[in-house]
């Protein structure tokens, strides 16, 4: 994975740039000592790391505007950072960049139940948004696996999803307004506490733009009343293909569970030895969760059970109480951690039409054998968002490269099946050079034209999202 | 009138245009500033090219009649969940609304309050930009964050950045059963409280509307729940108890299909109350907490409230500037003469730097100013 060569001119001006930033934001919040900046050298895509020029942790929208104005004047690239949990390298620094972290900005600014929104500073973590309203019976719906740590700023940058977005949608569907600072230091207000913003859909455009259009400092988010209750059912199958077919059956029958999660044998075995969740011995399992009153849940699980029985499940287990529900979710929630104990892995994020699940799962199995690396599948099946985990040993020379090559093959397969490279993690650096698999040059050009308008100097997170070859002339002009 | 019959011809029509083009789908929603240009309609790009009920996705040419899309979905027990409004009665237009026009104007209906807007159900687009280039974005999967989201940018851009040639929609199961709770005699402030109480309950309310003057002349507040029959019956009863402080609620239930119970919702959705009158019609998207103050400020105007008070349709005396009545949100003129529209501006003015960015996007996507120039200001 290449990153652009750092600007020697910027590196030479480091002390001047750091001094200006310290003048703008109090010195303690500008970190330029390599010991202090080490924590910012990578995000959750740990295979790649680079020490930045310095790290700035502003405390307000005004600070962010000041920092960006200085960086704009100094022609320094800026890498915005939420909590650094990106799996795609979205917050990976370059040695000539300023990392702008919003983690200090985490206050709740306003809660309004009559109009059903919460306004927060963007450094607030996803789970603590729900934490601020759950006492009153509300929640914020998008729930990425990293929700304990990840920031709303990063959720907006990557248009984060989660296990429950089959019913509640992803970040863009739950975002009402935001405050953003563009690279020249202008503060932009978009949307608000009302439902459809006027004019062009700036909210939609900014959400998922991977920190390349502006730095989001505040967000107005839709909150929802908690359902009366929720309960999962676990269904084990003799083959991945049959499990995939069962997902399509349920959706076709008009069921809209709040989540349909999938795990294959590889993941089940690892998870079992890690968390003893009591999962059945089977090739694939689904966890289907439904919501409502106890009677509504019973009825929905009855229908789902009868659909599943037509596919001869090995086991069908309905949670009868909170304890059994927690046990069913235990394994799924510990899956990524458990796989990490086993080996290094990269987690893919390709999305396919639900109807293609059986065929694509079969092809992934074949590719895994061809490349000689194990692949575990654990993902949000209801919306076709796959997360193949490719296991490899980072200390074994060449294995990372083999792993990346296999990952690229799997993502190409997703596109070929009518899907896309990334469903909720973002492109970052990880899938940057695969963009041409999904898009023609004219499609990519149209997207880059948007960045030209909001960040004409291409200083915000410049080496992400688009193939380096496509952005070269724009970055060079900066 | 240019009537290309496929995407290639559409691209040629745009790239060879000698001057501005007035782009339209079925021409049933002439909202925006009048465009002086040759008419270009996408009605020739018609037909459902892909529909997979098991994957909840449908792909159609932009000129496909909305009625055809909805009938095709209904035959499989599915629907466009954002419940698109039909503007014909309100605006006195004729012709056939198209799926492309619906998307270009981001048209949603009462269910938007729970399910989301048209733009939330748009998975992918193909469009022709102002230079005649064919561009695609998004796709036909539920979750997609690959590159920038031009899908949502195209929704609501009213043909000013590109002419849609094809759209891919996420569809949802059609509810088996519908119940509507009717609360009588509430004033606007109390009605908004009642709608908030309903929307803030766990009973999955899919519609909350209020009209100060209903069909029988009295105020009526409507709360809707939908889904499987037993669940709807349960939730309607629970809601009735939950809303007891607002007076006795009548419950209308229909189980043979949603049509019969949706007549009242179609009336709300299409703002029929304001059809065929000489007043100007304004559309306000606001925080529901501001609804009561807005209605007070509008004085004698006739209003219809949807989305729990977040959407207010007002019929006001011709020529009046009703935009002054809101402090946040946005106001759009949906029906007024050209003079009023030009004087007051159809859309909420954008603050800087957004207005400059909007102009920048138009220059990038339509450098010659061919596509609906001036329509959005």
Q: What is the CATH number of the domain that holds A279?
A: 3.30.70.3450
In sequence order, what are the residues at sequence separation of 6 or more whose Cβ sits closer than 8 angstroms to the Cβ of residue A298?
none
CATH of residue A76's domain is 3.30.43.10
In this model, does residue A65 exceed pLDDT 70? yes
Q: Is the ipTM of this complex over 0.90?
A: yes
Q: Are residues A86 and A127 in the same domain?
A: no
In a domain, A2, yes or no: no
pLDDT at B261 over 60: no
Question: At B276, is the pLDDT very low, low, confident or very high (cuts 50, 70, 90)?
Answer: very high
Name residues 103-162 of chain B within 8 A of A (Cβ): 106, 108, 112-113, 116-117, 119-120, 129, 133-137, 139-153, 155-157, 161
**Position A236 pLDDT exceeds 50:** yes
CB atoms under 10 Å from CB of A9, counted, come to 11
Average pLDDT over residues B66-75: 97
- Evaluate if residue B51 carries a pLDDT over 60: yes
Average pLDDT on A233-256 reads 92
Please say if the pLDDT value at position A197 is more than 80: no
Residue A28 resides in a domain: yes
User: Is residue A198 over pLDDT 80?
Assistant: no
Query: Which CATH number applies to B177-257: 1.10.1740.10, 3.20.20.70, 3.30.70.2190, 3.30.70.100?
Result: 3.30.70.2190
Residue B258: the pLDDT is 45
Residue B125 has pLDDT above 70, yes or no: yes
Which tens digit of pLDDT belongs to each residue from B291-300?
999 999 999 9
A433 touches chain B (CB under 8 A): no
- Contact list, A170 vs chain B (CB under 8 Å): 143, 145
Are B282 and B331 in contact by the 8 Å Cβ rule? The answer is: yes
Residues A473 and A381 in one domain: no
pLDDT above 70 covers a percentage of chain A that reads: 100
What number is the average pLDDT over the span A11-25?
97
Residues A169-191 have pLDDT tens digits of 999 999 999 999 999 999 999 99
Residue A424 placed within a domain: no
pLDDT tens digits along A449-463 = 999 999 999 999 999
pLDDT given at position A332: 87
A115 and A218, same domain (yes or no):
yes
| Residue A296 covered by a domain | yes
User: So what's the pLDDT on residue A145?
Assistant: 87
Model confidence at B357, in pLDDT bands (50, 70, 90)?
very high
Domain termination site, one of A287, A314, A336: A336
CATH (domain of A119): 3.30.465.10
Using alpha carbons, select from B147, B59, B128, A158 the residue that is nearest to residue B137.
B147
| Beta-carbon separation of B361 and A453 below 8 A | yes
pLDDT at B257: 47
Distance, CA of B101 to CA of B104 (rounded, Å) = 5
Does pLDDT of A338 surpass 90? Answer: no
A395-412 pLDDT tens trace:
999 999 999 999 999 999
Q: What is the mean pLDDT of residues A318-334?
A: 89
Query: What pLDDT, on the 0 to 100 scale, is given for residue A339?
Result: 85
Domain's final residue, options A52, A86, A101: A101
CB contacts < 8 A (A, B): 257
Contacts of A208 in chain B (CB under 8 A): 145, 148-149
Measure the CA–CA gap between A221 and B117, rounded to whole angstroms: 15
Considering its fold, how many domains does chain A have in total?
5
Residue A79 has pLDDT above 50, yes or no: yes
pLDDT band, very low/low/confident/very high, at A275 (cuts 50, 70, 90): confident
What is chain A's mean pLDDT, rounded?
95
Of the candidates B55, B146, B287, which has its C-beta nearest A427's C-beta? B146
**Which option is the CATH number for B7-173: 3.30.565.10, 3.30.465.10, 3.40.50.880, 3.30.750.200?**
3.30.465.10
Tell whether B323 lies on the interface with A, counting CB pairs under 8 A. no
Please say which residue of A300, A317, A336 terminates a domain. Answer: A336
Convert the pLDDT of each residue in A111-120 to its tens digit.
999 999 999 9
Examine the pLDDT at B256 and tell me if it is beyond 70: no
pLDDT digits (tens, 9 = 90+) for A350-376: 999 988 998 999 999 999 999 999 999
pLDDT at B260: 47
Q: What is the pLDDT of residue B259?
A: 54
Domain that holds residue A453: 432-477
Residue A384, min C-alpha distance to chain B (Å): 7
Task: Please tell me the predicted confidence (pLDDT) of residue A478.
Answer: 63
Task: Please report the pLDDT score of residue B141 as a whole number.
Answer: 95
Average pLDDT value over all residues in chain B:
95
Domain residue limits, chain B: 7-173, 177-257
Average pLDDT over residues A294-318: 94
Residues B101 and B144 sit within 8 Å (Cβ to Cβ): no
Summarised one tens digit per residue, pLDDT across range A411-423 is 999 999 999 999 9
pLDDT bucket at A274, cuts 50 / 70 / 90: confident
Lowest model confidence (mean pLDDT) among A258-262, B4-8, B166-170: A258-262
A161 interfaces chain B, CB cutoff of 8 Å: yes
Q: What is the pLDDT of residue B215?
A: 79
Same domain, A135 and A238: no
* Whether A207 and A252 share a structural domain: no
Burial bucket for residue A3 (CB in 10 Å: 0-12, 13-18, 19+)? middle
Asked whether residue A310 is domain-assigned, the answer is yes
């Amino acid at each position: 994975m290449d990153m652009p060569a750092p600007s020697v001119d910027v590196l030479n001006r480091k002390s001047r740039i750091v001094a200006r930033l310290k003048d703008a934001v109090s010195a303690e919040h500008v970190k330029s000592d390599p010991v202090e900046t080490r924590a910012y050298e990578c995000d959750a895509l740990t295979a790649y790391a680079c020490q930045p020029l310095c790290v700035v942790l502003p405390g307000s929208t005004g600070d962010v505007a000041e920092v960006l104005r200085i960086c704009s004047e100094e022609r320094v690239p800026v890498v915005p950072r939420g909590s650094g949990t990106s799996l795609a390298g979205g917050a990976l620094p370059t040695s000539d960049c300023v990392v702008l972290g919003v983690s200090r900005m985490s206050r709740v600014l306003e809660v309004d139940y009559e109009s059903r929104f919460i306004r927060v500073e963007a450094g607030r973590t996803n789970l603590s948004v729900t934490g601020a309203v759950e006492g009153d019976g509300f929640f914020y719906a998008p729930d990425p696996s990293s929700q304990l740590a990840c920031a709303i700023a990063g959720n907006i940058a990557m248009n984060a999803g989660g296990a429950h977005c089959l019913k509640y949608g992803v970040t863009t569907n739950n975002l009402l307004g935001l405050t953003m600072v563009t690279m020249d230091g202008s503060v932009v207000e978009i949307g608000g506490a009302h439902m459809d913003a006027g004019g062009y859909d700036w909210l939609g455009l900014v959400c998922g733009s991977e920190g390349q259009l502006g730095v989001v400092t505040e967000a107005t988010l839709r909150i929802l009343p908690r359902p009366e209750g929720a309960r999962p059912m676990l269904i084990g199958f003799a083959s991945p293909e049959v499990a995939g077919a069962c997902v399509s059956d349920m959706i076709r029958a008009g069921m809209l569970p709040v989540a349909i999660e999938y795990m294959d044998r590889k993941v089940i075995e690892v998870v079992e030895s890690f968390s003893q969740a009591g999962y059945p011995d089977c090739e694939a399992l689904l966890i289907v969760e439904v919501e409502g009153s106890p009677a509504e849940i019973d009825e929905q699980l009855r229908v789902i059970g009868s659909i599943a029985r037509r596919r001869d499940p090995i086991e069908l287990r309905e949670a009868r109480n909170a304890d059994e529900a927690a046990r069913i979710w235990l394994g799924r929630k510990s899956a990524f951690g458990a796989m990490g104990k086993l080996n290094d892995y990269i987690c893919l994020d390709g999305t396919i039409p639900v109807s293609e699940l059986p065929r694509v799962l079969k092809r992934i199995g074949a590719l895994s054998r061809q490349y000689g690396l194990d692949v575990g599948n654990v993902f949000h099946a209801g919306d076709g968002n796959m997360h193949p985990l490719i296991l490899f040993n980072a200390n074994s020379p060449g294995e990372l490269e083999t792993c990346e090559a296999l990952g690229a093959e799997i993502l190409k397969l997703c596109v070929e099946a009518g899907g896309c490279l990334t469903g909720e993690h973002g492109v970052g650096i990880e899938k940057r050079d695969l963009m041409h698999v999904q898009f023609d040059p004219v499609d990519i050009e149209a997207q880059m034209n948007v960045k030209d308008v909001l960040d004409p100097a291409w200083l915000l997170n410049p080496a992400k999202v688009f193939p380096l070859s496509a952005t070269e002339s724009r970055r060079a002009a900066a | 009138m240019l009537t290309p019959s496929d995407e290639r011809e559409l691209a040629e029509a745009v790239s060879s245009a000698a001057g501005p083009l007035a782009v339209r789908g079925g021409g049933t929603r002439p909202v925006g500033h009048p465009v002086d240009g040759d008419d270009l309609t996408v009605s020739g790009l018609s037909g459902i090219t892909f529909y997979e009920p098991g994957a909840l996705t449908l792909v159609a040419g932009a000129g496909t009649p909305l009625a055809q899309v909805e009938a095709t979905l209904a035959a499989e027990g599915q629907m466009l969940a954002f419940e698109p409004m039909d503007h014909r009665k309100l605006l006195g237009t004729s012709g056939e609304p198209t799926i492309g026009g619906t998307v270009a104007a981001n048209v949603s209906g009462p269910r938007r309050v729970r399910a989301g807007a048209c733009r939330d159900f748009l998975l992918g687009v193909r469009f022709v930009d102002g230079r005649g280039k064919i561009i695609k974005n998004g796709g036909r999967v539920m979750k997609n964050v690959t590159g920038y989201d031009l899908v949502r940018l195209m929704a609501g851009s009213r043909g000013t950045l590109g002419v849609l040639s094809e759209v891919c929609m996420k569809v949802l199961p059609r509810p088996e059963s519908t119940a509507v709770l009717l609360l009588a005699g509430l004033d606007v402030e109390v009605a908004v409280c009642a709608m908030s109480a309903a929307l803030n309950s766990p009973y999955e309310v899919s519609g909350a509307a209020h009209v100060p003057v209903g069909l029988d002349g009295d105020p009526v507040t409507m709360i809707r729940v939908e889904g499987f029959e037993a669940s709807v019956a349960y939730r309607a009863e629970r809601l009735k108890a939950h809303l007891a402080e607002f007076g006795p609620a009548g419950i209308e239930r229909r189980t043979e299909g949603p049509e019969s119970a949706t007549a009242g919702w179609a009336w709300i959705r299409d703002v029929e109350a304001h059809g065929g009158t000489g007043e100007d019609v304004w559309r306000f998207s606001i925080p529901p907490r501001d609804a009561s103050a807005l209605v007070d400020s509008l004085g004698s105007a006739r209003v219809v409230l949807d989305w729990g008070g977040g959407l207010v349709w007002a019929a006001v005396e011709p020529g009046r500037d009703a935009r002054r009545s809101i402090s946040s949100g946005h106001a759009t003129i949906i029906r007024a003469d050209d003079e009023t529209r030009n004087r007051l501006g159809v859309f909420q003015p954008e603050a800087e730097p957004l207005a400059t960015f909007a102009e920048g996007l138009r220059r990038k996507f339509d450098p010659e100013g061919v596509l609906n120039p001036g329509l959005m200001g």
